[in-house]
Amino acid sequence: MEAEGYVSLREFTEADAEALLEWASDPRVVRFQRRDAYTHVDEARRYIIDHVLPFCRTRGTAPSAASLGYLVARAHWGRGVATRAVSAAAEAVFAEWPWLVRLEAIADVENPASQRVLEKAGFTREGVLRRYVVLKGRPSRDVVMFSFVRGDGEVKPAEVATHS
Amino acid sequence: MDRSQELQAAAARGVEVSLRRFDLADVDAMMVWASDPQVAAVCRWEPYESTEPLVAFIREVVLPHPWFRAICVVGGEEERPVGAVSVTPTADACRAELGYVLARAHWGKGVATAAVKRVVATVFAELEGLERVEALVDVRNAASQRVLEKAGFRREAVLRKYCVLKGQVKDMVMYSFISTDPLVE
C-alpha cells in the first residue's frame, strides 16, 4: 500500500493519452503554458508520439543546462504532488546526466503557487525576466527564473521512486 | 565648419557609429578582430587562423542571419567595419539575444556603447514580434556590463552556472532592453 503523498515518476507511453488529455485540456492547468489546451485525445496521442517519446530517447547531446517544466491535473493540486515530482526529477537527472550542471525553471510572475513549488523543492530564485515568453499568441509575459545547480546541496527528500 | 571643426564637434558629441549589412568583401576587416586572441578570449569562438573559414562564416551564418550588422565609425575609415553586432531570435518570438564584438584598437572609446544604442533604437521595428532584447555577460566582464548599462539595459539576474565556455563553467548576468524602455541619448 502506498503511503500518503507517495509520488513516482516513469516514462510516458502511448497508452497515457487519455490521462494526459485530462490535464492538457483543462484551461486552469495550461493557463501559463505556451500551447493551447487540447480538446481531443488524438492531439494528446500525437503529442506523446511526436514530442514526448523521441524526447526521452534523445541522448546524443550532453548539454550542461536543462529546463524543467511540469503540469498537474487540477484534482491533485494543493497536496504537494508537484513539489515531490520536481524534487524527484531534479535528483534523477543530476544522477543520470553527469554532465548536467544547471537545471532551470521559469514561473509566471502571476503564478505564486508554481513559484512556491520550486522554492520548496530547493530551487534558488534568480530574478524577474521581462517579456520572456509568448503565451498562446497573447502579449508576452514576465517570468521568474529559478535554478538548481550541481552543488546546491541535497534535493529535498521525497517519498519517491524513479524507474524507466 | 571645416573638417577639423567637424571632428571636434563629433568628439564633443561622443563617438558616432553607423550599422550596415556585411558583405563578403568585409572578410579582411573582420579578420582583424576574428584572429585576435584577446578578443576571442571573451567570446564563444577560437581565433581564426586563415580567411577561408571566415569567408564560410560570413556566407553561411552572417549573410542569411535575420539581423547581423557591421559597426563602422563615423569620421574614421567610414566603410571599414571595426566590429559586429547581432540580434539572434530565440525559441520565443518575443525575445532575441544581443551579441557584439569589437577590434581591440577601438576598445575603451565608447564604440560598443554607441553601437548597442543604435541597435535598440532600430531593431524593434525591424524584427517582427520582438519585444525583448537580452544579453548574457560573464559576471567577471565588467567592461561589457558597463556597455549595456550605459545603453539603458536593465540588469535582471545572475544565472548561475549558466553555460560551459572553453572548459569553464560560467555565471552569467542577464540584461534586457524591452521595446517600451526609454532610449538613452
Percent of chain A with pLDDT over 70: 87
Q: pTM for this structure?
A: 0.86
Question: Which of A101, A131, A132 lies nearest to residue B164, judging by beta carbons?
Answer: A101
Which pLDDT does position B10 carry in this prediction?
56
| Contact yes or no for A66/A29 (Cβ under 8 A) | no
Question: Which of these, B97, B141, B89, lies nearest to B116 by C-alpha position?
Answer: B97
Indicate if the pLDDT at residue A59 is higher than 80.
no
Which pLDDT does position A4 carry in this prediction?
54
- The ranges assigned to domains in chain A are 7-162
* CA distance linking residue A71 with residue A114, whole number of Å: 10
Question: Which of A102, A129, A131 lies nearest to residue B160, judging by beta carbons?
Answer: A102
Average pLDDT value for chain B: 92
Q: What mean pLDDT is predicted for residues A29-37?
A: 89
Q: How confident is the model at residue A2 (pLDDT cuts 50, 70, 90)?
A: very low
Write out pLDDT tens, residues B38-73. Answer: 999 988 889 999 999 999 999 999 999 999 999 999
Q: What mean pLDDT is predicted for residues B87-109?
A: 95
| Contact yes or no for A92/A8 (Cβ under 8 A) | no
Find chain A residues with C-beta within 8 A of B154's C-beta.
130
Long-range CB contacts (< 8 A, 24+ apart) of B66-69?
B66/B127, B67/B96, B67/B123, B67/B126, B67/B127, B68/B21, B68/B22, B69/B19, B69/B20, B69/B21, B69/B22, B69/B119
Q: What mean pLDDT is predicted for residues B86-109?
A: 95
Tell me which residue has cell 563629433. B10
Residue A74 has which C-alpha cell? 487540477
Tell me which residue has cell 539575444. B97
Q: What mean pLDDT is predicted for residues B78-106?
A: 93
Long-range CB contacts (< 8 A, 24+ apart) of A61-65?
A62/A97, A62/A99, A63/A99, A63/A100, A64/A99, A64/A100, A64/A101, A64/A102, A64/B161, A64/B163, A64/B164, A64/B169, A65/A100, A65/A101, A65/A102, A65/A103, A65/A104, A65/B161, A65/B162, A65/B163
**Is B157 in Cβ contact with A127 (below 8 Å)?**
yes
Write out pLDDT tens, residues A117-142. Answer: 999 999 999 999 999 999 887 889 99
Residue A2 has which C-alpha cell? 502506498
B164 touches A: beta carbon within 8 Å: yes
Which pLDDT does position A159 carry in this prediction?
41
Which pLDDT does position A6 carry in this prediction?
77
Fold of A7-162: Aminopeptidase (3.40.630)
Question: Which of A64, A101, A131 lies nearest to residue B94, judging by beta carbons?
Answer: A131
Which pLDDT does position B169 carry in this prediction?
92
Which pLDDT does position A53 carry in this prediction?
85
3-state secondary structure at position B145: helix
Average pLDDT value for chain A: 87
Indicate if the pLDDT at residue A157 is higher than 60.
no
Q: What mean pLDDT is predicted for residues A82-95?
A: 95
When mean pLDDT is compared across B8-22, B68-82, B89-103, the lowest value belongs to B8-22
Where would I find the H helices in chain B?
3-13, 27-34, 37-40, 51-57, 111-126, 142-150
A72 touches B: beta carbon within 8 Å: no
A161 touches B: beta carbon within 8 Å: no
Indicate if the pLDDT at residue A158 is higher than 90.
no
**Is B169 in Cβ contact with A65 (below 8 Å)?**
no
